[in-house]
Chain A
Amino acid sequence: MKHFRSVDEAGPEAIRRLLDLADHMAEVSRRPNPKVPALRGKAVCNLFFEDSTRTRLSFETAAKRLSADTMNFSVSSSSVNKGESLRDTIETIGAMGIDAFVIRHKSSGVPWQVAQWTGASVINAGDGWHAHPTQALLDCYTIRSTLNRTGSFDGLKIAIVGDIKHSRVARSDIRAFTMLGADVTLVAPRTLLPPEIDVPVVTELDEVIDKIDVIYLLRLQRERMTESLVPSLREYTARFGLTPERARVLPEHALIMHPGPMNRGVEMAVDPSELPGSVITQQVTNGIAVRMAVLFDLLGSGSDLEANE
């Protein structure tokens, strides 16, 4: 695999391979010295055109645990608009000898454009509303390691709740969960759904809350109200928030997931630390393992996972 830009582009075989590889990486991460020389001499550039401290730190940690050299290039899109074009930025940094670009951009499709201008691998760390494939990987990894579902997600009922329309996490998760065999249901008002989708939808959380194995809550951005997509946060929480009442109706084994950052009191109207099914911090931890897996799969040469440096 040359690039890792979307779940669909990678395909089911690669997704399974990366999840298996993440097991090894998680094991590396648990060592007293969680570092292997697998990517020594490789250069990874984190190119974040949109602020995302947590994703950038996760990628940076993953690269460092594999002994890659990392560079961080943070830039707001506006300053790039004023001066250098995206192409010139990529070609300039690429000329410094980069093996992989990790790219976050507010515009959908940028990882595909960037790949035309560099010979390096391109890893999508989130593009617009489109895709966030390493988030999908870490979500799959979290589900399978917690529910002991290493084979497949056959029969697993997952509800993704909230602002699907503007969510790259939702788009990638729907594809990945479905690819592994899960039954995905979307829970949202029509204003927060993309048009003409072929995934089952319910418009009230209470219709499904007692029948699901995983509830995946999405962040509701406050500007959605000024866009008249929901009347108020209060009404959103009443229909789609995870409230203490709903938490009591959730099946006991059900997992509670969120990509972060959470809006407490909005989609998360209960303290997740009091919910035994919450795996939100595991998601963050697993993010490092799956990102190590992706970096190693794209840049590694098959050896060197064993020895500590």
Chain B
Amino acid sequence: MSEILIVGGTVIDQTGQRRADVRIAKGIVSEVGEGLTAVGGEVTLAADGCIVSPGFVDLHTHLREPGREEAETIETGSRAAAKGGYTCVVAMPNTDPTQDSISVIEYVRRQGEAAGLCDVRPSGSITIGRLGEQLSPLAELAEVGVHLFTDDGDGVQDPLLMRRAMEYAADLDIVLAQHCEVRRLTEGAVMHEGRCCSKLGLPGWPSFAEELMVFRDIELVRLIGAPVHILHLSTTRSVELVRAAKADGLPVTAEATPHHISLTDELLAGYSALYKVNPPLRTIADVEAVRAGLADGTIDAIATDHAPHAPETKERPLDQAPPGMLGLETALGVSLASLDMPVADVVAALSWKPALIAGVADQHGRPVAPGEPANLTVFDPDAEWQVVPSELASKSRNTPFVGVPMRGQVKHTVLRGDATVIDSQPTR
């Protein structure tokens, strides 16, 4: 591991913003200040015009391994994450087999360590096999370090089972994360229920199918007191429900995806499955409500829901194509282009706020200060660029952002003092 000096940037972290160079030695930030000069053997990373921030943390990454390695592996997904400025990702449990046992959790963790491109923190499923029938061994998995539990891909439908999960989780220092979707209301759904789906003749996914479960889980939090994290919140009313819950002081957190702050259901008009995602792209009013939720802190984090799919699956008829889109490499560029927020607030939503929810705040999302782990992202907040699918580090190509202007580009990513990305290129 070589020593690194990041020169010429502006540091942004939870303590504020200042012009400073950053010296890294032995995986630790050793010096922060203006006018630092390189000493022998140090690698210098240029950061002129750039922001130096704590590394990004993604609460919602589908790495597909084990089970769907044709779409992504832990290595290719980790590389995509590093390119996107991430030093830590929470791996979603809808693998095959499901991440509901120590053996699968350990496998994912080891593969992440072997790739060594970002910290891979496996989440666990709330129920065995994500079938919504029987609780996973939550305490056993918490014991080996799993912090976030979710049946993502599906919500826990049974209100009694969700109540039990929250009661059981309440004393384990873990967080349950809910994919809010009442399945009975979305059977066969392909896109947001509204004007566009009517015109296109596609079955609709009504907003209230999400809102009903957001409401149910908030009321369970009120009853039980255990924290709940709302995944990929997408509707106006969901934002209002979470805002009210926070005003009541409830331990509810929420995330929004880059696509739900930038794209609308009208994009389905050409019947491309690249725009099929769950929850679906919604109306411009919803997009604006979600942006406002991020701006006022109702929504804590930007999370990618990075969901790689092999090309042939996205060429199926729309109702048969799997939902999901890539997100890791475009999250920053979409966020800065879409959000009318101070850069520091966007960084907060990408870094230290999700780090707290993921339970990784001892290593990630730390202040940029001497003695702290050197997990850092250097990005140019004004760089404008375009997505070229063939240049993506992900194994899949299902990005909806081709032709969408990006603002803000990651230049360098440093994981525990090791540069995983230099000049926007992965180092390995």
Between A112, A128, A129, A197, the greatest number of chain B beta carbons within 10 A of the residue's beta carbon is seen for: A128
Given A108-B319, A113-B317, A130-B201: 11 more A-B contacts, CB < 8 Å:
A86-B315, A86-B316, A105-B317, A108-B190, A110-B317, A112-B271, A113-B315, A113-B318, A128-B201, A195-B198, A196-B198
A168 at interface by CB-CB < 8 Å? yes
Take A130-B201, A168-B201 as given contacts and tell me if A85 and B270 are in contact as well, using a CB distance cutoff of 8 Å.
no
Take A81-B320, A196-B194 as given contacts and tell me if A130 and B202 are in contact as well, using a CB distance cutoff of 8 Å.
yes
**Could you tell me the dominant secondary structure of chain B's interface residues?**
loop
Complex: how many Å from CA A87 to CA B199? 25
Let me know if B195 and A196 touch, CB within 8 A: yes
Nearest CB on B from A41, distance (A):
31
Complex: how many Å from CA A127 to CA B200? 10
Let me know if A108 and B198 touch, CB within 8 A: no
Complex: how many Å from CA A110 to CA B190? 14
Which of chain B's residues has its CB closest to A198's CB?
A: B195
Which of chain B's residues has its CB closest to A199's CB?
A: B198
Complex: how many Å from CA A85 to CA B320? 12
Specify which of A81, A87, A108, A194 is in contact with B271 (CB 8 Å cutoff): A108
Nearest CB on B from A267, distance (A):
20
Measured between beta carbons, the chain B residues less than 8 angstroms from A110 are 271, 317
Complex A-B: 14 CB contacts under 8 Å: A85-B315, A86-B316, A87-B312, A107-B317, A108-B271, A109-B317, A113-B318, A129-B203, A130-B200, A171-B199, A171-B201, A195-B193, A195-B195, A197-B198
**Interface residue tally for chain A (C-beta within 8 Å):** 22
Let me know if B316 and A131 touch, CB within 8 A: no
Binding site for B on A (CB under 8 A): 81, 85-87, 105, 107-110, 112-113, 127-131, 168, 171, 194-197
Take A130-B201, A197-B198 as given contacts and tell me if A113 and B312 are in contact as well, using a CB distance cutoff of 8 Å.
no
Specify which of A85, A107, A129, A130 is in contact with B312 (CB 8 Å cutoff): A85
Let me know if A129 and B201 touch, CB within 8 A: yes
B204 at interface by CB-CB < 8 Å? yes
Take A195-B194, A196-B195 as given contacts and tell me if A108 and B320 are in contact as well, using a CB distance cutoff of 8 Å.
no
Which of chain A's residues has its CB closest to B192's CB?
A: A195
B414 at interface by CB-CB < 8 Å? no
Take A112-B271, A195-B197 as given contacts and tell me if A86 and B317 are in contact as well, using a CB distance cutoff of 8 Å.
yes
Which of chain B's residues has its CB closest to A88's CB?
A: B312
Measured between beta carbons, the chain A residues less than 8 angstroms from B201 are 108, 127-131, 168, 171
Measured between beta carbons, the chain B residues less than 8 angstroms from A195 are 193-195, 197-198, 204, 206
Take A108-B271, A112-B271, A196-B194 as given contacts and tell me if A128 and B315 are in contact as well, using a CB distance cutoff of 8 Å.
no
Let me know if B270 and A128 touch, CB within 8 A: no
Measured between beta carbons, the chain A residues less than 8 angstroms from B199 are 171
Let me know if B316 and A109 touch, CB within 8 A: no
Nearest CB on A from B312, distance (A):
6
Complex: how many Å from CA A197 to CA B200? 12
Let me know if A109 and B198 touch, CB within 8 A: no
Let me know if B318 and A109 touch, CB within 8 A: yes
Take A81-B320, A128-B202, A131-B201 as given contacts and tell me if A109 and B315 are in contact as well, using a CB distance cutoff of 8 Å.
no
Complex: how many Å from CA A28 to CA B203? 41
Top 6 nearest A-B pairs (CB, nearest first) are: A109-B271, A130-B201, A107-B317, A194-B198, A129-B201, A196-B195
Interface residues of B in 191-228 (CB under 8 A from A): 193-195, 197-204, 206
Measured between beta carbons, the chain A residues less than 8 angstroms from B203 are 129
Take A81-B320, A107-B319 as given contacts and tell me if A112 and B202 are in contact as well, using a CB distance cutoff of 8 Å.
no
Complex: how many Å from CA A85 to CA B204? 25
Which of chain A's residues has its CB closest to B320's CB?
A: A107
Complex: how many Å from CA A112 to CA B270? 7
Nearest CB on B from A167, distance (A):
9
Nearest CB on B from A87, distance (A):
5
Measured between beta carbons, the chain B residues less than 8 angstroms from A194 are 197-198
Complex: how many Å from CA A297 to CA B206? 40
Measured between beta carbons, the chain B residues less than 8 angstroms from A127 are 201
Let me know if A128 and B319 touch, CB within 8 A: yes
Let me know if A108 and B316 touch, CB within 8 A: no
Complex: how many Å from CA A128 to CA B56? 43
Let me know if B318 and A87 touch, CB within 8 A: no
Take A112-B271, A129-B202 as given contacts and tell me if A85 and B197 are in contact as well, using a CB distance cutoff of 8 Å.
no
Which of chain A's residues has its CB closest to B202's CB?
A: A108
Measured between beta carbons, the chain B residues less than 8 angstroms from A131 are 201
Nearest CB on A from B142, distance (A):
41
Complex: how many Å from CA A87 to CA B206? 31
Let me know if B197 and A87 touch, CB within 8 A: no
Measured between beta carbons, the chain B residues less than 8 angstroms from A128 are 201-202, 319
